[in-house]
Amino acid sequence: MRRRELRCVAFAILILACVASARAQTAYGIGRPAAPTEIAGWNIDIGRDGSNLPQGRGTVSHGREVFDQQCASCHGEKGEGGVGDRLVGGQGTLGMAKPIRTVG
């Protein structure tokens, strides 16, 4: 039993040494941090509460146009999924082995 404990301690020390050496590596010297204005240009998600919506107002038909232009290529023409996650459907599937998870 004592030998097993010693092996566990030795293994833990080895893992910690690997983690410490991984942190000690130097940067590669390429790239740069993204500027906040660059990040803001890619931050196009809208919260459930409507946060991050642009100023002003809109209509359902304009919303459809925006979805077609900016969202449909990943989420599908009707939100059924594609490259991006599904946005619609899934009702009644939580009890199944593979439930369909959506934001709806």
> What are the structural domain ranges in the chain?
61-104
Ramachandran area for residue 34 (φ above 0: left; ψ -120 to 50: alpha; else beta)? beta
**pTM reported for the whole predicted model:** 0.43
Q: What is the pLDDT of residue 57?
A: 82
Does the structure show a pLDDT above 80 at 11? no
For 41-84, what is each residue's pLDDT tens digit?
A: 887 787 878 787 778 888 889 989 999 999 999 999 988 888 88
End-to-end CA, the chain = 54
Higher pLDDT, 59 or 18: 59
CB 45 within 8 A of CB 52: yes
For 23-52, what is each residue's pLDDT tens digit?
A: 555 677 788 888 998 888 887 787 878 787
